[in-house]
Structure formats: structure tokens, C-alpha cells
């Protein structure tokens, strides 16, 4: 019992009673007018609130392929520790936020359906989920506060029995803005008085009417009080509104079901037959449940899951909800709504919409936002790192580069082959990821993206990758999972992949897996080489010497010897010893050296500093050169022999410890990667790495 008491005390201590009281605020209409005077933004439209909510998390800008891109921190999902964070989608999300901005300013997009379009598993649902949760959280803070009202009997028997159906309190079923209680002809002047002297980011307008039940009660009270509007307001209690999808307040979600088991009342509400006995008529608005998804979502957002799978009758309801911002409940006049209408669909369904001439009106009211698959390696890797990290995986270690390699394969399946014969698909992937390559500028990357219209709208879904990583983690007995295990899972799964049907596509995906394996081989050899040499300063000095000699050679100058002070010819032997490591032939050395100098010059024009690490080919050449210079200190090929000299074993253990400390390997995978690289050296593969 003592422990139970401790838990209760702990939870009670964590509660914020003051915040709860703020969220539960209730007051008179006059008190609400004072709130509006102090902060007119409480009267914002749903689109204005959505846009402000996103901006409230902050932004930053960066340049991608010479294009200025805004990153909205909201989509990092900071409130929920990045659970639904989005990676690599900044440009599509910019387009989406621009639609919200345009709608907030009243430029017309507030009367459209926002349609997220893209392949399966591209985060369409995640975007909607983020926006819904964002609105919920925003409504709980002072900056995002919004209000609605209840009708009160105030001890008046007529109001209680005749108007409120025996209740002492009747909440507005659609959570309408309290200022709609001001008669339409007086709203403009009243609002100008309320916002007088305030500097607002956009105009505040009151467009809309009370919902049918509130309109009925308001009209009857005006009759009862002989037109005394002030007396009617005495029956109003304004309340703070907290949006909640689970409580069905301001957030609606509609999902298509079997056509035989659904009708349009799910969107606009239905008659409450039990209340007909109370109010005496099925056309009395108080005998109607205004609990359809459109009603529920008023003041917030409605999400249509697989919107284009909706029955035609539902799509007709969407037309009025978007263009006129009104819905038509059964037996009642058109009812005003204020909500963000979003849907998402995949490509086959969208093509059906395009080919259906009867859906022209819907197409005209739709703003399509393409949400492609990620095509940047770092961003794709983050998706899997979030789902498969040390906090979630207990008792197993994922070897370095494992998630990077599967991310590489998934992106390769989404890219079009480059049109330039001199550019490989792997190189294109690296350019997209922001890596620099001699002969290619950001303008070239921009051109590469322009010539490939289908990139990101095809290929392998992240869900398939996640499933196969999970399989490997569950099925493999090993306590350490390496890239080959996952890549084998990916390949074997292609036989039964429901989205990969053609033999040609399966063959291509297998070829891409072989390409990834080759790339991984290069990466681990490079890491082992660096672990052997383990001297960044030496590589940097070697790079500086090489660049000085290349500059002198290209500009036909002489190099100053740092020790003697004499000017000497460029060191041809040094330059060739480095260039040969990456297979630059004698006949191509002049072109390569000019290419390096042009690359350095282009960086200088962009105020960027040259770093050998950013140039993959040169980095590899420098590492191989330094490794060759130190190769006599350790022979990894001895690992495959039956006996190893104790001194050599000690030196190999030093390399192994460096792999563990500097590159994230564990005891098992460090030994595996050393054995793997040693087997390559033992085969006499000295072209890429010397033994």
C-alpha cells in the first residue's frame, strides 16, 4: 500500500493544476470580449491557426542545389522526441506550408482540398498525424488558445424545459466561435473595435453563421426577450476549447469502408430518433446529432484516408465543404464549417481521378502536393536509425554502415540511371547527398534532378526495409548484425515482394544489391586502412603537398622547398604515386589535375573551403598512399594464415581496438571486418588496397 501511495503522490506532483485550470477556463461573453481585445488571434481561422502552429516551432534556411530551402522545425516532431520526425522532405513540406500561408492570408487556397500524393510508405499519413497532434498541442498553450460556448438555463424554467430539452447546459455541438453570436450586420464594426490598435500578421474576419441548434436557440431567446440581445448573452458561458482527436473535438478522421456499410451521414451527422420524442419533430435541429466528421472537425482539421477510394456520394459532399465551406446535413440548411481539409492517396488512385471526366469539379478544387520517397542517403539512414537504435534493440549490436547500406540500396531503386555515361548511379546518389565530386557543381546537381521527373515516386518503400531489418534481428543467432545479413534478407525477400512483380525489376534490384556490396567493400577497406595508418594530420599534410605540386604543375610554376628555400620543379613522382591509387592513367593526369584545380576554384567562388574529406576520390587516393607507406608495419593478410607472430597479433589487436573506439565496431564485428578485408588482401587484390 505504501508503494501505491508513493505512485499516487508522484503522479500528483507531476500534475500542473494551474495549467489544467487554464484549459478549463469558463467565463461570460463580456470576459471573452476582453480576451479578444488583448489577443485578437484567438479568433483565427483554422488555416491561420495551422500556419501559426507550424511557425511557432521555428525555422532555418539552407541552400540545396543553389535553391534556398526553409526547414520547418515542427516536422522534426520535437514535442514527442522525434517519434514522427520527417527526413529529407523539406521541399515538399515547403510547398505544403506555402499552401497554408496562402490560405491564412485568404488568397483562395482555403477553399481547396489539400491532396498529399505519393507512393506507399512515403510519410503521407505521418504528415497528417503530425499536423493533428500539432494542433492538439498548440490548443493547450496560451498562443494557440481558442474558445467556444455553452447555452445555460440560468434558472429560467422556459429556457431549461422548452429550449434546452430539460438540460441546464447545452454545449454548442460544432464548437462555433463565440463572436458568431454577434448579428451578422454588426460584426464588421464590432471586430474593428476589438482589434483597434493591434498589429496583426493577417486580417481577422468573421465569416460564417451559428450551427443549426445554436441558431434555433438564439432565435427563440431573441423572441423570448423581445429582441434584447444583451439578455440573450446572459445565457452564454464561454469556455476554453482543447482540440483532441480522441475526444472528437476539432480533429476528424474519415476512412473509407465497405460501400454497403457507409453513407454520407458519417460526414454530416444523422437524426437522433430518441430525441424526437423530446422535441417532437425530426426537423428540429436539437433532435439531430451534429457528430459527423465534418462537424467534429470544425475549427481544426479533417483527414481523409485514401480519399479517392471514397464513394461518389461522399465526393459530392467534399465539393461544397471546400469551395463554399459549407456542409448540408439531412433536412437542414447548409451549415458553415471552418477546417483544414486534407486527404492522401497513391498514384494508381490519382490516375483514376485524372481519367474520370465526371470528377472534373473535384480535380478543380484540389491542390496536389507530391510527397516522394527520400532520395538523400543521410536522410534515409535517419529513418532506420530512429527505429533501430541501441535504446530499442536490446542484446544485439548493429555493425557500422549496416543501416547506411540498406538505405543506399533503397535510394538506388528510386533513382533513374544518369544520362551521362561518365557518371555512375552510386556517384549520382552521392551528389544528391551533398558530397562533392570534381567536375560537378551544385548547378549540375540541379540539372540532374530536373532531368529525372519520376525519381522518388518509384522504387522500394522504407516499410520493406524495416521488415527485413526486423527479420534479420529476430532470425539471426548472431549477437551482431552486419550489412551482408541484411542485404541477403533484402535479396531473398524480392521473390515474394508484392510490389515487385516483373522479372526485369527483380533483376535490376539484385544488380543494385551487388553494387551496394561493392561499395561496402570499399568503405570497410578504407576504414581498416585508416585504422592502420590512423593519422589524420599526415593525410592532411600529404594533401597540402599534393595540391601545392598540382597547382605549380598546372600553372607552370615552381614549388618552394620548405627546408632548403630553393624553388624546384613540381614533384612528378609524388603526384603519380597518389594518382595511380585511383587508376588515373598517364595519359589522363593533366586532365585530372586541371579538374582538381577547377574544383578548388569553384569552391572558392562559393566561399567554401577545400577539404580532402569532401572529395571522395582524392581522399581515397591519399589514404591508400599513406597506407602503402606504412604497410610494412602490419600485414593483415597474416590473419588468414594458421599461425600469427605474437608481435603481429599485438599490432592487429591495436588496429581492432581503433575500429572499436573510432568507428563504432564491437568485438565481434571488428574481428569480422578484419577477416573480411584480410581475405581480400590474401586474394592478391592489390589494385584497390596494398597488403
List pLDDT tens digits, range 410-452. 999 999 998 888 889 999 999 999 887 777 888 888 888 888 8
Q: Look at residue 335 and give its three-state secondary structure.
A: strand
Query: Which of 200-214, 350-364, 519-533, 541-555 has the lowest average pLDDT?
Result: 350-364
Strand 113-117 relative to strand 340-345, pairing: parallel
Residues 393 and 472 in one domain: yes
Q: Which three cell numbers stand for residue 344?
A: 492522401
pLDDT exceeds 90 at position 348: no
**What's the pTM?**
0.84
DSSP state of 159: I
Say if residue 650's pLDDT is above 90.
no
Shared domain for 151 and 31, answered yes or no, is yes
Average pLDDT on 90-106 reads 96
- The residue segments making up the domain with residue 214 are 26-38+142-198+210-241
Residue 318, in any domain of the structure: no
User: What are the two backbone dihedrals, phi and then psi, of residue 60, each rounded to the nearest 5 degrees?
Assistant: -150, 160
Q: Say if 57 falls within a structural domain.
A: no
Higher pLDDT, 162 or 265: 162
Last residue of a domain, one of 633, 650, 666: 633
Is 90 domain-assigned? Answer: no
Q: Identify the band that residue 259 occupies on the pLDDT scale cut at 50, 70 and 90.
A: low
What are the helix (H) ranges across 105-247? 124-138, 157-158, 184-194, 212-224, 229-233
Q: Verify that 403 and 468 share a domain, yes or no.
A: yes
- Tell me which of 478 and 515 has the higher pLDDT: 515
Among the residue ranges 165-179, 282-296, 407-421, 551-565, the one predicted with the least confidence is 551-565
Give residue 2's pLDDT band: very low, low, confident or very high (50, 70, 90). low
pLDDT at residue 27, rounded to an integer: 96
Q: Is the pLDDT of residue 668 over 60?
A: yes
How confident is the model at residue 638, as a pLDDT? 57
d(CA 192, CA 40): 10
Query: Residues 144-171: what's their mean pLDDT?
Result: 94
Q: How many domains does the chain have?
A: 3
Q: Which three cell numbers stand for residue 200?
A: 496583426
pLDDT attached to residue 3: 56
> For 566-590, what is the mean pLDDT?
87
Same domain, 565 and 463: no
pLDDT given at position 318: 86
Residue 582: per-residue pLDDT: 83
For 267-277, b/e burial (b = at least 16 CB within 10 A) is bbbbbbeebee
Separation of alpha carbons 473 and 485, rounded Å: 9
What is the rounded CA–CA span in Å between residue 460 and residue 412? 9
Percent with pLDDT over 70 in the chain = 94
Q: At what angle do helices 402-412 and 425-432 cross, to 10 degrees?
A: 110
Name the band, by pLDDT with cuts 50, 70 and 90, for residue 65.
confident
pLDDT of residue 620: 79
Sign of the CA dihedral with 280 first, then 283, 286, and 288 last: positive
Mean pLDDT taken over the chain:
87
Angle at 604 between CA 603 and CA 607, to 5 degrees: 90
Distance CA 648, CA 532 (A): 12
Is 204 within a domain? no
Whole-angstrom distance, CA of residue 154 vs CA of residue 168:
8
Q: What is the pLDDT of residue 143?
A: 95
Q: What is the tens place of the pLDDT at every residue in 30-49?
A: 999 999 999 999 999 999 99
Residues 490 and 539 in one domain: no
Confidence of residue 281 (pLDDT cuts 50, 70, 90): confident
Can you name the residues that pair with 115 across neighbouring β-strands? 343, 368
Grade residue 239 by pLDDT with cuts at 50, 70 and 90. very high
430's CB contacts (< 8 A; 6+ apart) are: 377, 437, 616
- How far from chain centre, in Å, is Cα 291? 31
- Grid cell locating 630: 606504412
H or E element at residue 493: helix 483-493
Average pLDDT over residues 334-352: 90
pLDDT tier at 642, thresholds 50, 70, 90: low
Cell readout for 271 is 437524426
- Which of 495, 526, 555 finishes a domain? 495
> Would you give the distance in Å from CA 264 to the centre of its chain?
32
In the chain, what are the helix, strand and coil shares in percent, each to the nearest 5? 55, 10, 35
Contact (CB, 8 A) for 409 and 513: yes
- What's the whole-number mean pLDDT along residues 671-676? 87
| Residue 691 to residue 528: CA distance in whole angstroms | 11
Average pLDDT on 227-239 reads 96
Residues 484 and 572 in one domain: no
Q: Does residue 256 belong to any structural domain of this protein?
A: no
Choose between 1 and 631: higher pLDDT. 631
Residues 427 and 543 in one domain: no
Asked whether residue 222 falls in the same domain as residue 152, the answer is yes
The answer to whether residue 297 sits within a structural domain is: no
To the nearest 10°, the Cα dihedral for 656, 659, 664, 667? Answer: -10
What phi and psi, each to the nearest 5 degrees, are found at residue 117? -125, 130
Co-location of 166 and 30 in the same domain: yes
In what order do the strands lie in the sheet containing 236-241?
Answer: 26-27, 236-241, 146-152, 169-171
Whether 577 and 428 map to the same domain: the answer is no
The answer for 67, left when phi > 0, alpha when psi is -120 to 50, beta otherwise, is beta
Q: For residue 690, what pLDDT band results from cuts at 50, 70 and 90?
A: very low
Residue 459 and residue 586 in one domain: no
Domain end, chosen from 219, 241, 263, is at: 241
Per-residue pLDDT band at 541 (split at 50, 70, 90): confident
Per-residue pLDDT tens over the stretch 469-492:
999 888 767 789 999 999 999 999
pLDDT of 237 above 60: yes
pLDDT for the residue numbered 688: 42
Q: State residue 247's pLDDT score.
A: 95
Q: Give the model's pLDDT for residue 543.
A: 87
Q: What pLDDT band is residue 515 in, cutting at 50, 70 and 90?
A: very high
Checking if the pLDDT of 691 tops 50, the result is no
Placement of cell 558530397 in the chain: 435
Query: Does residue 641 lie within any of the structural domains?
Result: no
Q: Is the dihedral of CA 455, 460, 463, 469 positive or negative?
A: negative
Residue 687 has pLDDT above 80, yes or no: no
Q: Which helix (H) or strand (E) element contains residue 44?
A: none
pLDDT of residue 483: 93
The H-assigned helical ranges of 173-330 are 184-194, 212-224, 229-233, 265-268, 273-279, 293-296, 312-323
pLDDT at 323: 87
Residues 477 and 556 in one domain: no
pLDDT in tens, 587-629: 888 888 888 888 888 888 877 777 777 777 788 788 778 777 7
Give the chain's end-to-end CA distance (angstroms, integer).
69
Identify whether 192 is part of a domain.
Answer: yes
Evaluate if residue 140 carries a pLDDT over 90.
yes
Residues 6+ apart with CB under 8 A from 347: 117, 118, 119, 457
Taking alpha carbons only, the member of 689, 671, 680, 679 closest to residue 482 is: 671
Amino acid at each position: 500500500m505504501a508503494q501505491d501511495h508513493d505512485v499516487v503522490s508522484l503522479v500528483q506532483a507531476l500534475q500542473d493544476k494551474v495549467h489544467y485550470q487554464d484549459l478549463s477556463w469558463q467565463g461570460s461573453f463580456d470576459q471573452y470580449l476582453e480576451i479578444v481585445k488583448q489577443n485578437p488571434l484567438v479568433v483565427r481561422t483554422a488555416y491561420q491557426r495551422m500556419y501559426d502552429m507550424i511557425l511557432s516551432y521555428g525555422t532555418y534556411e539552407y541552400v540545396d542545389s543553389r535553391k534556398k530551402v526553409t526547414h520547418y522545425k515542427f516536422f522534426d516532431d520535437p514535442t514527442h522526441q522525434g517519434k514522427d520526425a520527417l527526413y529529407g522532405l523539406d521541399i515538399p513540406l515547403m510547398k505544403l506550408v506555402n499552401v497554408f500561408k496562402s490560405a491564412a492570408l485568404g488568397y483562395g487556397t482555403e477553399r481547396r482540398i489539400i491532396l498529399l500524393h505519393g507512393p506507399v510508405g512515403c510519410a503521407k499519413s505521418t504528415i497528417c498525424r503530425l499536423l493533428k497532434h500539432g494542433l492538439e498541442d498548440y490548443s493547450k498553450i496560451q498562443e494557440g488558445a481558442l474558445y467556444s460556448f455553452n447555452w445555460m438555463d440560468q434558472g429560467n424554467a422556459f429556457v431549461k424545459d422548452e429550449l434546452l430539452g430539460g438540460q441546464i447546459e447545452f454545449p454548442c455541438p460544432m464548437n462555433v466561435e463565440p463572436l458568431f453570436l454577434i448579428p451578422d450586420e454588426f460584426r464588421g464594426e464590432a471586430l474593428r473595435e476589438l482589434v483597434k490598435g493591434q498589429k496583426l500578421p493577417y486580417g481577422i474576419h468573421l465569416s460564417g453563421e451559428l450551427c443549426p441548434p445554436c441558431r434555433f436557440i438564439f432565435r427563440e431567446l431573441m423572441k423570448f426577450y423581445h429582441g434584447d440581445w444583451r439578455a440573450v448573452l446572459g445565457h452564454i458561458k464561454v469556455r476554453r476549447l482543447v482540440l483532441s482527436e480522441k475526444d472528437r473535438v476539432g480533429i476528424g478522421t474519415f476512412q473509407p469502408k465497405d460501400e454497403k456499410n457507409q453513407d454520407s451521414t458519417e460526414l454530416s451527422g444523422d437524426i437522433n430518433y430518441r430525441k424526437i420524442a423530446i422535441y417532437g419533430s425530426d426537423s428540429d435541429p436539437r433532435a439531430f446529432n451534429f457528430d459527423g466528421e465534418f462537424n467534429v472537425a470544425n475549427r481544426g482539421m479533417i483527414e481523409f484516408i485514401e480519399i479517392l477510394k471514397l464513394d461518389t456520394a461522399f465526393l459530392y459532399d467534399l465539393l461544397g465543404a471546400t469551395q463554399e465551406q459549407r456542409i448540408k446535413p439531412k433536412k437542414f440548411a447548409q451549415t458553415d464549417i471552418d477546417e483544414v481539409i486534407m486527404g492522401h492517396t497513391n498514384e494508381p488512385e490519382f490516375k483514376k481521378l485524372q481519367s474520370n471526366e465526371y470528377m472534373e469539379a473535384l480535380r478543380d478544387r484540389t491542390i496536389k502536393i507530391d510527397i516522394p520517397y527520400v532520395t538523400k542517403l543521410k536522410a534515409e539512414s535517419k529513418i532506420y536509425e530512429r527505429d533501430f537504435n541501441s535504446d530499442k534493440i536490446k542484446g544485439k549490436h548493429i555493425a557500422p554502415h549496416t543501416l547506411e547500406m540498406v538505405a543506399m540500396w533503397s535510394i538506388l531503386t528510386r533513382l533513374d540511371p544518369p544520362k551521362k555515361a561518365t557518371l555512375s548511379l552510386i556517384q549520382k546518389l552521392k551528389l544528391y547527398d551533398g558530397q562533392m565530386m570534381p567536375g560537378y557543381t551544385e548547378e549540375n546537381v540541379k540539372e540532374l534532378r530536373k532531368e529525372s521527373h519520376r525519381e522518388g515516386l518509384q522504387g522500394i518503400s522504407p516499410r520493406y526495409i524495416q521488415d527485413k531489418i526486423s527479420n534479420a534481428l529476430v532470425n539471426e543467432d548472431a549477437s551482431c548484425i552486419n550489412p551482408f545479413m541484411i542485404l541477403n534478407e533484402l535479396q531473398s525477400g524480392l521473390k515474394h515482394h508484392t510490389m515487385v512483380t516483373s522479372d526485369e525489376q527483380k533483376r535490376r534490384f539484385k544488380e543494385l544489391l551487388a553494387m551496394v556490396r561493392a561499395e561496402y567493400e570499399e568503405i570497410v577497406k578504407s576504414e581498416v586502412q585508416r585504422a592502420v595508418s590512423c593519422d589524420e594530420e599526415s593525410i592532411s599534410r600529404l594533401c597540402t603537398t599534393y595540391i601545392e605540386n598540382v597547382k605549380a604543375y598546372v600553372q607552370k610554376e615552381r614549388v618552394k622547398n620548405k627546408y632548403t628555400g630553393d624553388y624546384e620543379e613540381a614533384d612528378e613522382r609524388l603526384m603519380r604515386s597518389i594518382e595511380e591509387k585511383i587508376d588515373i592513367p598517364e595519359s589522363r593526369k593533366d586532365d585530372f589535375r586541371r579538374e582538381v584545380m577547377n574544383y578548388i576554384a569553384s569552391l572558392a567562388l562559393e566561399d567554401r573551403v577545400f577539404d580532402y574529406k569532401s572529395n571522395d576520390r582524392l581522399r581515397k587516393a591519399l589514404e591508400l598512399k599513406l597506407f602503402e607507406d606504412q604497410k610494412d608495419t602490419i600485414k593483415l593478410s597474416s590473419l588468414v594464415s594458421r599461425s600469427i607472430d605474437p608481435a603481429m597479433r599485438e599490432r592487429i589487436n591495436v588496429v581492432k581496438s581503433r575500429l572499436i573506439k573510432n568507428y563504432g565496431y564491437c568485438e565481434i564485428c571488428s574481428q569480422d571486418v578484419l577477416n573480411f578485408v584480410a581475405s581480400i588482401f590474401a586474394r592478391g587484390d592489390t589494385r584497390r588496397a596494398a597488403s
